[in-house]
Chain A
């Protein structure tokens, strides 16, 4: 791998993102707006809003970054630029790491803003340390980026790529524990939920809702999220082909 190519790729992706002002506005505003919606759907401060609001600080960024990166990577694949890059002296992982870094930076801004809105404007109570909440939210967004980069390999068109949201993300959202505690689910679903990335995203933030410090369980969840990010990037790199038929 070459740090120079990773940095150049990250910079180029951010340049492209900056050109697309509307996407930037949507990325930043939509999760905040949805959190406001959740707050007034519950229509009260206190434990119930905390119970849903805090995990959503990680889940919203994960979902939006998943969608944006899978489309961005699909464009790179279909425009011929990926094929061109692969004829140049780059490692496959350079390209994916560059994307991960760029969208990771965007995710940091997005998650930071979301946490600020939640805590300052909506009165979300965080029992654990705030830095841990922000770290977890950003890590989840980066995981969403890595999963988006990987799954884009299985889509030939944008229409297919957006369908991965209901096909791939929605089941995880249902089974992660947010709607119903996982141990109350049918046993097979409980076991399946262990294999889903979003479960760890949810668990980690839920730990921070219930404990004053970063517990070993929360740290383990964070470690799983980071490990899954690396695995998804590796799998994503494995889907890039220098030779095609």
Chain B
């Protein structure tokens, strides 16, 4: 099986500073991988490198068997930025219809994506009138339109209430069950337990690539937030 992402010794420099170094991991289809780490640890940069929008990437970074950023990957990779990238002056439906045409999705894709993120009741409201959590769901819905093989989500659950977060994580697993590979970043450790695998970044280095159970075993901590702190401190020592 071709891994969805194969990263070997990936590094990124920005403004002369090394913001990522020696990052090596594989992502396999059908799994939800959590990308965890304190803010400023390089999560967004790593996701941007995988999407192919980051400049100055070194090492090997293949996505779905092609070099990251290759033109034919634009149809197969869905990316949701941390700040919602949608048109505030258009309604939810208008936004999704536009992006659906751009990615060549089926006509019923917007309605399905809106239902997936539970925004059907707000479909005809301008995005600028929604709460920030609702806005980020519109942005997320946009990435679901083209039925991507790889979904890269940068902090998609920030500011969402616990019920909705649980629903979205269930959606992520449904997508994974359908064969999609997902990389979901978060700085909230209680989300780690919802992942099949966890990558922990700290100051641009990958501290750990393991399952939640493996992380517990390795640190001897039962609670993942404690395990995370133990790891980060161990990395700092």
Residues of A within 8 A of B (CB): 4-5, 8-9, 11-12, 15-16, 19-20, 79-81, 83-90, 242-245
Q: Does chain A have a CB within 8 A of B52?
A: yes
Nearest chain B CB to A17 CB, angstrom units: 9
Q: Report yes or no: A245 in contact with B15, Cβ–Cβ below 8 A.
A: yes
Verify A245–B14 contact, CB threshold 8 A. Answer: yes
CB distance B90 to A243 under 8 Å? no
Contact of B102 among A5, A20, A242, A243 (CB under 8 A): A5
Q: Is there an interface contact between A15 and B86, defined as CB atoms closer than 8 Å?
A: no
**Whole-angstrom distance between the Cβ of B100 and the nearest chain A Cβ:** 9
Q: In the complex, how many angstroms separate the beta carbon of A97 from the nearest chain B beta carbon?
A: 13
CB-based contact B56/A81 at 8 Å: no
A88 to B38, CA, bound (A): 29
28 A-B interface contacts by CB (under 8 A): A5-B101, A9-B98, A12-B87, A12-B94, A12-B98, A16-B87, A16-B90, A19-B90, A20-B89, A80-B83, A81-B85, A81-B86, A83-B53, A83-B81, A84-B81, A87-B52, A87-B53, A88-B74, A88-B99, A89-B74, A90-B74, A242-B69, A243-B52, A243-B54, A243-B69, A245-B15, A245-B54, A245-B56
Chain B residue with the shortest CB-CB distance to A5: B102
Q: Cβ of B75: which chain A residues have Cβ within 8 Å of it?
A: 89
Tell me if A19 and B85 are in contact (CB < 8 A).
no
Q: Does B185 contact A (CB under 8 A)?
A: no
Chain B residues with Cβ below 8 Å from A12 are 87, 90, 94, 98
For the complex, would chain A's binding face be called helix, strand, loop or mixed by DSSP majority? helix
User: Is B218's beta carbon under 8 Å from chain A?
Assistant: no
> Could you tell me the distance between the alpha carbons of A5 and B98 in the complex, rounded to whole angstroms?
9
Q: How many residue pairs between the two chains, A and B, have CB atoms under 8 Å in the bound complex?
A: 77
Tell me the complex Cα distance, A9–B97, Å. 11
Quick check: is B142 within 8 A (CB to CB) of the other chain? yes
Whether the Cβ atoms of A89 and B104 lie closer than 8 Å is: yes
**How many residues on B have C-beta within 8 angstroms of the other chain's C-beta atoms?**
33
In the bound complex, residues from chain B placing their C-beta under 8 Å from that of A88 are: 74, 99, 102-103, 146
Tell me, rounded to whole Å, the shortest Cβ–Cβ distance linking A23 to chain B.
11
Q: Are A90 and B55 in contact (CB under 8 A)?
A: no
- The answer for the CA separation of A129 and B174 in the assembled complex, in Å, is 65
Within 8 A of A (CB), among B37-68: 51-56
19 more A-B residue pairs beyond the given contacts A84-B81, A84-B142, A88-B99, with a C-beta to C-beta distance below 8 A: A8-B98, A8-B102, A16-B89, A19-B90, A80-B81, A81-B85, A87-B77, A87-B79, A88-B74, A88-B102, A88-B146, A89-B75, A90-B74, A242-B53, A243-B54, A243-B55, A244-B54, A245-B14, A245-B15
Determine the chain A residues whose CB is within 8 A of the CB of B86 once the complex forms. 81
Residues of B within 8 A of A242 (CB): 52-53, 69
Query: CA–CA, A103 to B69, complex, Å?
Result: 31
- Smallest Cβ distance from A11 to chain B, in angstroms? 8
Within the complex, the shortest CB–CB distance from A16 to chain B, in Å, comes to: 5
B142 → chain A closest CB, angstroms: 7
Q: Which residues of A contact B179 (CB under 8 A)?
A: none
Is residue B133 within 8 Å, beta carbon to beta carbon, of the partner chain? no
A4 contacts B90, C-beta separation under 8 Å:
no
Candidates B51, B55, B98; contact of A245 at CB < 8 Å: B55
Partner of B103, one of A19, A79, A89: A89
List of A residues within 8 angstroms of B142 by Cβ: 84
State whether A244 touches B74 (Cβ < 8 A).
no
Return A127 CB to nearest CB of chain B, in Å. 43
* Chain B: CB-nearest residue to A8: B101
Measured between beta carbons, the chain A residues less than 8 angstroms from B74 are 87-90
- Chain A contacts for B87, CB-based, 8 A: 12, 16, 79, 81
Distance in angstroms from A149 CB to nearest chain B CB is 17
How far is A86 from B77 in the complex, measured between Cα atoms in Å? 12
Kindly state the separation between the CA atoms of A89 and B72 in the bound complex, as whole angstroms.
8
Residues in B with CB closer than 8 Å to A4 are 101, 104
**Measured between alpha carbons, how far is A9 from B89 in the docked complex, in Å?**
15
Contacts A16-B89, A79-B85 known; A87 to B15 CB distance under 8 Å?
no
Smallest Cβ distance from A6 to chain B, in angstroms?
10
Whether the pair A86, B53 counts as a contact (CB closer than 8 A) is yes
Give Cα A11–Cα B90 distance, bound, in whole angstroms: 12
- A19 touching B81, Cβ below 8 Å: no
